[in-house]
Structure 1
Amino acid sequence: MKQFSGSFRKWADWFDLPSDVAGGAARVEMIGSHRLQIQNHQGIEQFSPDKLQLRTPQGSLLIQGKSLTIKAIFPDTVFVEGDIKEFRYL
């Protein structure tokens, strides 16, 4: 399977596919200042109404704001709502 993964990445580079499609990189989509969708997360490290920290293939993703809520969580996607002030990798 590892060989297939390497071949797929070569083809993905050749076809200029985004890394989130090719290699499982996290994809963060912000809709306005009140909603985030994070795909390819690997779990929650910390959660409070002011801070959410997620594990991703690139490291920890920190989301800060006010009244943060996890609206839905699936094995590879999480939806966050609230007054989002900042998100960054640690």
Structure 2
Amino acid sequence: MGTKGRREGLLERTAQFFDLPADVVAGVPRLELVGTGELRMEHHKGILAYGDREIHISGGSYVVKVTGEGLELRAMTGMELLITGRIAGVELT
């Protein structure tokens, strides 16, 4: 078993032991879409492109593309961000 396999097993066991979601323990991005007006993302790696119709966010190994109208980055910390507006689509690439 490679190092990656051992690490994934350790993360899963840790999540189970502490009764935590695996994404929290692993630090992978977590997206929450509330209707069509709000997107929250935890554990992002930064904004790559920003406009009122499209915002690209680094999720580490992929990019989250948010499209819509009147998009606005309302809040951003090192761990979380909040996008509001009329969200038409969310794509992972």
Specify the TM-score bucket, using the shorter chain as the normaliser. 0.7 to 0.9
Is the aligned partner of 1:27 residue 2:54? no
Higher strand share: 1
Could you tell me which residue of structure 2 aligns to residue 12 of structure 1? 14
- Identity over aligned pairs, percent: 21
Question: Given that residues 53 and 70 in structure 2 are in contact (C-alpha distance below 8 angstroms), is that contact kept between their aligned partners in structure 1?
Answer: yes
Compute the RMSD of aligned alpha carbons. 2.3
Question: Given that residues 58 and 64 in structure 2 are in contact (C-alpha distance below 8 angstroms), is that contact kept between their aligned partners in structure 1?
Answer: yes
Structure 1 distance, partners of 2:47, 2:90, is 15
| Matched positions, count | 86
- After TM superposition, the runs of 4+ consecutive aligned structure 1 residues lying more than 2 A away are 16-19
Which segments of 5 or more consecutive residues in structure 2 lack a partner in the other structure?
Answer: 1-6
| 1:7-63 CA distance string (max 9 Å, x none) | 7414236x1743321211110001111001000000000000000000013410000
Structure 2 distance, partners of 1:27, 1:10, is 17
Which segments of 5 or more consecutive residues in structure 1 lack a partner in the other structure?
Answer: 1-5
